[in-house]
Structure 1
Amino acid sequence: MEPLPLLIAVVLGLATTVSAGPAAVECWFVEDSGSLAKRPAALLLRQGPRGPPPRPDLDPKLYFKVDDPAGMLLAAFRRYPAGAPAPHCEMSRFIPFPASANWARGLIPQQNCPRALDGDWLLVSVSSTVFSLSVLLRPQPEPQREPDFTMATVVLTVLTHSPNPRIQLGKDAVLDLSFAYMPPTLEDALSPAAGPPPFGLEWRRQHRGKGHLLLAATPGLAGETPPAQEKAVAFAAWDDNEPWGPWTGNGTFWLPAVKPFQEGIYLATVHLPYLQGQVSLQLTVHKPPKVSLTPAPLVWAAPGETPPELLCLVSHFYPAAGLRVEWERRGGPEGGSGKAEGETWLSTVRHHSDGSVSQAGHLRLPPVTAKQHGARYACRVHHPSLPASGRSAEVTLEVAGLSGPSIEDSIGLFLSAFLLLGLIKALGWMAAYLTIHKDSKAKVTAASLDSKKSQ
């Protein structure tokens, strides 16, 4: 390739990379002034060469041009798929406050909130099928506000790329969590205690309106934390130790051998001195069923008779809800396929020790005719843990007299086999009798000879 076309290709490739993802995110600003009020707002993540696009529909105080020193927020949206649904974004005012949990009190060495945290703060929560994140924004003071928008700096970002983890029953759950922090003022970044600040990590499961603490950690701080529940482990640490930031960290959560009771909403919270960020994840458990059909491999019946009842066993699946069993008839002399005739029903649910369940589908066919010979009957199972096509098993119906021996032939064969077996046994008895008689005669002759010699 010539140098110029190559350069153009590289530039276009870079432009594609940079321009990936939405340039702006539409949000709702939620404010509680006696009653909840919502106003439109927007986060401008990327602008063109002519500057921020005008938004006359927005209050300039709610049109934020985002500065993200750590880059985590912008990187997440750069990888946002073009065809994915638009994320849901809400923002509200935030007031810095210390963590209320006893185990996190070591994060606040001073009694009063430092003056460096004075001013306006905004909490932005973004949820989507791609990621879930929480951001603390600090808008610029009033004198520096631009006429058409407001500059805002990202201070804390908490992010997960698995907002809806779907874990197979009995497998380990790994819930990723990352966070980034930039000191809100230059004075903080250049303070003598340079380096990332201490932080607290908390994982809870929401159940019936209450949060159950599963794990708490305060890396680098002396102090006792509650023991981890359900053998949970978190990889809690800063990724780097740069003197002035920004810093990124990891709080990935590991839960071994997931069981059904561990389904629910998981809340991951990162605590910094007077600052907090939280994301939620909806964990669900599933297990695809095994499907088998009995009797197998053939169902045998004579014309006019009712075939044996077909039993479709759907075993060891989860969740119990959502199971559907369909019966189909395929092939036969007439060809084609369609819904199987007959009476169908589902058995009661059987529970297993690992939390999975089993259930059986039944099909009672009407009396068969010669037209049903060679037809295949299949049960197709649909369940949330399976692909849309489901999973199936089938068996072939054989009508006596049309393939293989008829009923009369079967009876004749049975009688012939019975007579043959009787003949074989009679011949065996006769051979045994002759052998015994011959041996007895030989013994009598030998005894007579011995008697004559002794005389």
Structure 2
Amino acid sequence: MKRLSLLLAVALGLAATVSARSAVIECWFVEDAGGGKLAKKPAALLLRQGAESPPPRPDLAPERYLKVHDPAGALQAAFRRYPRDAPAPRCEMSLYVPLPASAKWLSGLTPEQSCPRALDGTWLMVSMSSPFLSLSSLLRPQSEPLPEPALITMATAVLTVFTHTPTPRIRMGQDALLDLSFAYVPLTPKAATSLVPGPPPFGLEWRRQHLGKGHLLLAVTPGLNGQVPAAQEGSVAFAAWDDDEPWGPWTGNGTFWLPAVQPSQEGTYLATVHLPYLQGQITLELAVQKPPKVALTPAPLVWAAPGEAPPELLCLVSHFYPSQGLEVEWELRGGPEGRFQKAEGQRWLSALRHHSDGSVSLSAHLQPPPVTSEQHGARYACRVHHPSLPALGRSAEVTLQVAGLSGPSLEDGIGLFLSAFLLLGLLKALSWAAAYLLATQNSTEKVQHSTFLYFSHLILSAFPSSSPEGGCWPGGQNPALEFTQTCIKSCHLKQA
């Protein structure tokens, strides 16, 4: 199984060598020239390992023409995803002095304050940067260059730190995931080492640089039990060695996660991997973005008479970030020439309006010139360009209608039908209400008539036709009885 893993690693290494973008990386060797000035000299790194002899470079001093031995394969892994058609990364080389880390939480890495003799000699730091890669590598060159046919110096990559996302663009409110990989090759051979086999403890820190000051966000020390500062802003790092080979080389991961990124969190991020007396650091430029919303009013139609100017158009560009890089264009589509063209008229932008979440808004205004009959049906469009949008941007449009040139539309017919339907329903409801009120009134009158007849009959039965003394009433009839009978006849006639 171990032999199979070894063969697989060799195959991956060959694939990485074949897929590497370039065999030679051109660099500048930077050193102090005194008086606060820096001197630059040309240098080059030969990364590919092949049986053929390195090409001669008479323009370079042998100590600045380096053939890099990369036992961990970190350099090849860093360039494996590098686009073939992309420009070569910017590369700088300088001298490096091994020193213990100054932070107290890293004191456990270097219990003794003097560097071991194994770290004596010349050290070089190589830094590469491009939109696709940020890399830092500590090289240990040999003391003497190789002889002819090409004078070249062998160097070993001891500690390499890199990321494939050097310029992350994170949408506001989303999580940021910044990848970080590193590799370490111990200098002390297996037979002479007194250290415990296996990958060593290391320290990892992530900082944000702002106005020249570094703000520590996260510090971890896998393999150590010391106290570290508390993580800030909810940040988390997935810090660990990827393998546990007894004598190396080893590869590790220090990917950084920052939740719900806001505009105040953008800036330069520094990722540093600490080993005893060795440090590798890379920089990332995190940018926060939020695409704008675009709305155009009045909508959906703009009415104007021939020879008159349409109403002012207002394009609201809202809740975007950053404020830089926004462009607003006005277009007239389908005009007299039947194609897109730049819209004429007066245009201006409002001041920025700031929101509580850090985003901004503004409005763009256009006062179109007087229209002609040929412009009937043309469309005014507001097109917005912003770094958070695709190359074509985002647009909104309205249609221009010239008065007197359009008949009733389908929408007009539907509107008239709905209006007639509602009017018919209203008339029907009024008819039902009137019928209900009339029926209620007739029912009330019938109840009153029945009550009157009942009491009239009671009165007739209570009064006899003769007087109480046995005689007759004046006129021959009881007056109450006569009145009651007259009323009963009247009520019967009314009911009939």
Normalising by structure 2, report the TM-score: 0.79
Partner of 1:116 in structure 2?
118
Q: Contact (CA 8 Å) 2:207, 2:271: kept in 1 or not?
A: yes
Partner of 1:399 in structure 2?
402
Q: Contact (CA 8 Å) 2:190, 2:247: kept in 1 or not?
A: no
Partner of 1:67 in structure 2?
69
TM-aligned CA deviation for residue 208 of structure 1: 0.9
Q: Does 1:365 align with 2:350?
A: no
Q: Does 1:308 align with 2:311?
A: yes
User: Residue deviations 1:328-372, cap 9 Å, x none?
Assistant: 112246533322222221122222222222221112223444333
Q: Does 1:197 align with 2:162?
A: no
Q: Contact (CA 8 Å) 2:327, 2:384: kept in 1 or not?
A: yes
Q: Does 1:338 align with 2:341?
A: yes
Partner of 1:3 in structure 2?
none
Partner of 1:155 in structure 2?
158
User: Residue deviations 1:390-425, cap 9 Å, x none?
Assistant: 11111111122211369xxx9xxx9xx9xxx9xx99
Partner of 2:468 in structure 1?
none
Q: Are residues 15 and 238 of structure 1, via their aligned partners in 2, closer, same or farther at CA, if it must alter by over 3 Å?
A: closer
User: Residue deviations 1:290-332, cap 9 Å, x none?
Assistant: 2121221112233454433222111221111222211111224
1:348 to 346, 351, 369: 351
Q: Are residues 201 and 444 of structure 1, via their aligned partners in 2, closer, same or farther at CA, if it must alter by over 3 Å?
A: closer
Partner of 2:484 in structure 1?
none
SS in 2 for 1:186: coil
Q: Are residues 344 and 281 of structure 1, via their aligned partners in 2, closer, same or farther at CA, if it must alter by over 3 Å?
A: same
CA distance in 1, matches of 2:178, 2:190: 35
Partner of 2:488 in structure 1?
452
- Where does the alignment leave 5 or more consecutive residues of structure 2 unmatched? 1-10, 454-486
Greater RCO (CA < 8 Å, at least 6 residues apart)? 1
CA distance in 2, matches of 1:16, 1:447: 112
Q: Are residues 445 and 219 of structure 1, via their aligned partners in 2, closer, same or farther at CA, if it must alter by over 3 Å?
A: closer
Of 387-396 and 41-50, deviating more is: 41-50
Q: Are residues 445 and 202 of structure 1, via their aligned partners in 2, closer, same or farther at CA, if it must alter by over 3 Å?
A: closer
Alignment identity in percent? 70
1:288 to 279, 287, 291: 291
Partner of 1:30 in structure 2?
30
SS in 2 for 1:316: strand
CA distance in 2, matches of 1:107, 1:354: 42
Partner of 1:139 in structure 2?
141
SS in 1 for 2:391: coil
TM-aligned CA deviation for residue 192 of structure 1: 3.9
Alignment coverage as a number of residue pairs:
432
User: Residue deviations 1:79-112, cap 9 Å, x none?
Assistant: 4322111111111111110001111111002231
TM-aligned CA deviation for residue 452 of structure 1: 1.6
TM-aligned CA deviation for residue 385 of structure 1: 1.3
Of 368-377 and 355-364, deviating more is: 368-377
- Where does the alignment leave 5 or more consecutive residues of structure 1 unmatched? 1-10
User: Residue deviations 1:262-310, cap 9 Å, x none?
Assistant: 1111110001000000000111111111212122111223345443322
Q: Are residues 96 and 16 of structure 1, via their aligned partners in 2, closer, same or farther at CA, if it must alter by over 3 Å?
A: closer
Q: Contact (CA 8 Å) 1:129, 1:163: kept in 2 or not?
A: yes
CA distance in 1, matches of 2:191, 2:258: 36
1:253 to 251, 256, 262: 256
CA distance in 2, matches of 1:378, 1:440: 67
Give the greater-gyration-radius structure (CA). Answer: 2
AA at the equivalent of 1:265: T
Q: Are residues 192 and 213 of structure 1, via their aligned partners in 2, closer, same or farther at CA, if it must alter by over 3 Å?
A: closer
CA distance in 2, matches of 1:263, 1:212: 12
Q: Contact (CA 8 Å) 1:334, 1:371: kept in 2 or not?
A: no
SS in 2 for 1:179: strand
CA distance in 2, matches of 1:71, 1:437: 100
AA at the equivalent of 2:314: L
Q: Contact (CA 8 Å) 1:67, 1:152: kept in 2 or not?
A: yes
CA distance in 2, matches of 1:44, 1:65: 5
CA distance in 2, matches of 1:194, 1:442: 110
CA distance in 2, matches of 1:445, 1:82: 103
AA at the equivalent of 2:233: E
CA distance in 1, matches of 2:372, 2:73: 73
Partner of 1:76 in structure 2?
78
AA at the equivalent of 1:185: T
TM-aligned CA deviation for residue 133 of structure 1: 0.7
SS in 2 for 1:40: strand
